[in-house]
Structure formats: structure tokens, C-alpha cells
Amino acid sequence: MAVHKRSYRSYAGGFTPAWSRFTIITRYAFKNLFRSRLLTAYFVCCFFYPLGCAVALYVNHNLSLLSALNVRQVFAVDAGFFLSFLGVQSGFAFILTAIVGPGLVSPDLANNALPLYLARPFSRAEYVLGKMAILLWLLSLITWIPGLILFLIESSLSGAGWAWANIGLAWGIFIGCGIEILVFSLLSLAISAWIKRKLAAGAALLGVFFFGSGLAQVINAVLETKNGYLIDLGNLLTTVEGSLFGHSNVVGISASSAWIALVAACVFCIALLERKVRAYEVVVG
């Protein structure tokens, strides 16, 4: 039928699989996101450090260059190397989350668009998953994916023996980044769902981390305890990642406590989203 024909007609064509519908939101959001040159430039910058690390790994194994410099090996590629890599990339990931995250749900709430999404064969869970997938992709591209590429580069340069001996590092990179991405994503979505103004939502995300850290210090100092760290998300992530790489904790709380606190934070964020991501608010009474 011609595009310009002006009459109503029902649709008789095929449908896309229901499971894939959440990707539609992700696709449209990506199109919108990368219209911003600033964001695109920042996203490119996020790859500089992994690129530098890849070059460093190559130089580390370039015998002719090393002998010319009269050094046997510049640095050891071990848990510390990957942990510091994750530390740097986590910083980039957090800033990226602070830029992208607040604009995910809040515009839909501000424009009252949720009834339109949810009046279709599209659930609230799919909506949240679609929005979360944006951050999952972006953060994955700058954290565990380059981390595993570095691991593969080192494996190819050092041989299969090194890879088998250090396979735990690969899991550490994947799981450590995974929990970090999950916490960042859920937290930014929850804040975005509750604070309609994008700027305020961004500030609130920074506040949760920095204010949480400060409050943790105050609680620890006043109550003479270490439990204050349980509300310091940054330290919780550091503790969990450290435990995955076999490093002893540095802030005084156990890895299991940190895991539980992070899971609790995720559940709390999901509860916040469950309450807010609705077509219409139900007023009881």
C-alpha cells in the first residue's frame, strides 16, 4: 500500500519475537545518545587506557626493545596489573554512568510516556531491561571486554601455560566488572526513576557514592566500628573485586559482607524501580 494512502487498515504482516522487544528501546536510546559529540568524545577517551595497556603488554614482550633498553621485563602481568586496570576503567565507567544513566528513565516519566510503552505487549521488566541494556553495553565495552582482550593478548604473548595458570584472573575480570556494572546500572536507573530532572539525578548518583563514603567515615569514627563501610558502595566494590583477585581486604570488612551489602543494594534499587516504573501510580485510600 502506498505510504500516502489515507485510510485506516489493520496490520496483517508478521511480528517480531516477544523476547527481542526490549532491544528496541536500547536501539533507539543508542541512536539518541551518540548524537551528543561530548559523550562520543568521552566514550572514545575511555579506550585510551586499555589501548595503552595493550601497547605496554606488547612492549613487555618485545625482547629486542627490552634488550635495547637493557631491562629483562618492565612489569609483571599479574592480579595487581589487572586490578589497577579495573580501578582506572571503573572510574571511567562511573563517570559514563553519571552522564548516561540519569537520562534513561526520567524523560519518560517527565513526559508521562510510560502508559504508552506499557499499553503494548511490553512489560515493566522488559522496559527496565531495555533501559539497563544501554548501560550494560556501554560499560561492558569499556570494562570487562577490554580487560579480557588484554588477558588474551598476554596469553598469546606468554603462552598457554600462563593462561591456564591465571585463568582465575579472567573470571575475576568478568565477575568483578559484572557486579560493578550491575550496581552502577541499577542505581542510576533507580535514581533516574525517582528524580525527574536529569541534572539533579546525575548529582544524586554522585552524591550516593561520595556522600555515602563520607557518611561511612563518620559512622566508623563515631561508633568506633568498621560497619560504616557497608554503606560505602565504592569500598564495597573494591573489596569484592579485591577478593576476586585474591587480594586481602583493605577497608576492614569481609568479602562476604561486601557481597551481601551489594546484593542488598541491588534489591533495594529493584524495589525502587518496581514502585516507580508503572503506567499510572496507584493511589490507595
- In this structure, the chain runs to a length of 285
Alpha-carbon span 55 to 153, nearest angstrom: 10
The residue among 4 and 37 lying less far from other proteins, judged by its C-beta, is: 4
282 lines the binding site for other proteins (CB under 8 A): yes
| Closest C-alpha to 120, from 22, 31, 192, 189 | 22
Alpha-carbon span 97 to 102, nearest angstrom: 8
Among the residue ranges 8-16, 53-61, 182-190, 192-200, the one whose residues contact other proteins (CB under 8 A): 8-16
The residue among 18 and 45 lying less far from other proteins, judged by its C-beta, is: 18
The residue among 18 and 165 lying less far from other proteins, judged by its C-beta, is: 18
The residue among 12 and 44 lying less far from other proteins, judged by its C-beta, is: 12
Q: Build a one-symbol-per-residue string for 184-203: x at contacts with other proteins by CB under 8 A, - elsewhere.
A: --------------------
285 lines the binding site for other proteins (CB under 8 A): no
Nearest approach in angstroms of CB 210 to other proteins is 30
Report the sign of the C-alpha dihedral through residues 74, 80, 86, 88, in that order. Answer: negative
12 lines the binding site for other proteins (CB under 8 A): yes
Nearest approach in angstroms of CB 179 to other proteins is 30
Beta carbons of 51 and 89 less than 8 angstroms apart: no
Nearest approach in angstroms of CB 22 to other proteins is 9
Alpha-carbon span 223 to 226, nearest angstrom: 9
- In the region spanning residues 54 to 93, those forming contacts with other proteins, defined by CB under 8 A, are none
Nearest approach in angstroms of CB 188 to other proteins is 19
The amino acid at residue 49 is Y
- In the region spanning residues 113 to 142, those forming contacts with other proteins, defined by CB under 8 A, are 113, 115-123
Alpha-carbon span 128 to 276, nearest angstrom: 11
Among the residue ranges 15-23, 61-69, 132-140, 175-183, the one whose residues contact other proteins (CB under 8 A): 15-23
The label of the residue with cell 542510576 reads 188
In the chain, what is the straight-line distance between the N-terminal and C-terminal CA atoms, in Å? 51
Coil/strand/helix, residue 219: helix
18 lines the binding site for other proteins (CB under 8 A): yes
The residue among 122 and 162 lying less far from other proteins, judged by its C-beta, is: 122
| Closest C-alpha to 196, from 77, 111, 134 | 111
- In the region spanning residues 20 to 39, those forming contacts with other proteins, defined by CB under 8 A, are 21, 24-25, 28, 32
Beta carbons of 106 and 193 less than 8 angstroms apart: yes
Alpha-carbon span 229 to 252, nearest angstrom: 8
Q: Residue 250 has which C-alpha cell?
A: 583493605
- In the region spanning residues 99 to 118, those forming contacts with other proteins, defined by CB under 8 A, are 107-108, 111-113, 115-118
- CA angle at residue 245 from 243 to 251, to 5 degrees? 40
Question: Which residues lie near other proteins (CB under 8 A)?
Answer: 1, 3-16, 18, 21, 24-25, 28, 32, 107-108, 111-113, 115-123, 278-280, 282
